[in-house]
Amino acid sequence: MNVNIISFSARNTGSGYSRMRSLKYARQRIYVLCNQKELLEVLELNVWEDHIHIVMWIPPKYSISSVMGYLKGKLALRLFQKYENLGKRYWGRHLWARGYCVSAIGLDEAQIRSYVRWQEKHEKDIERQQMSLL
């Protein structure tokens, strides 16, 4: 099985409660979008306000660039539809930064999946510490 770790960045999507709702919605939409494409499988997913890490299986019939264009494009459209303030904030409707990072993995898959889970826990701990200072 050829597994890819994919990372792409967004511009800062705001703060507070609305940011948390939009991140939760983005996470849900990524799973829905991947289920709409035949054989795409999300193995790990980490969504933060300025970047997204996905460990996923992409079958050979799809190019990585076509999957990324599909995910970034459809997800941005859905976010702009659901959260109208994003359209006002991102003039020209450019939500995502240009480009993405991809690494094909094989034997190190378990280690990379563990890292994505660790990173999510680590960032939540940092966020909790910062909130406790307020």
Active site residues: 115
* Overall residue count recorded for the chain in this entry: 134
CB distance 30 to 128 below 8 Å: no
Helical packing angle, 16-36 and 64-82, nearest 10°: 140
Q: Distances from the Cα of 16 to the Cαs of 57, 96, 125, in angstroms?
A: 33, 20, 17
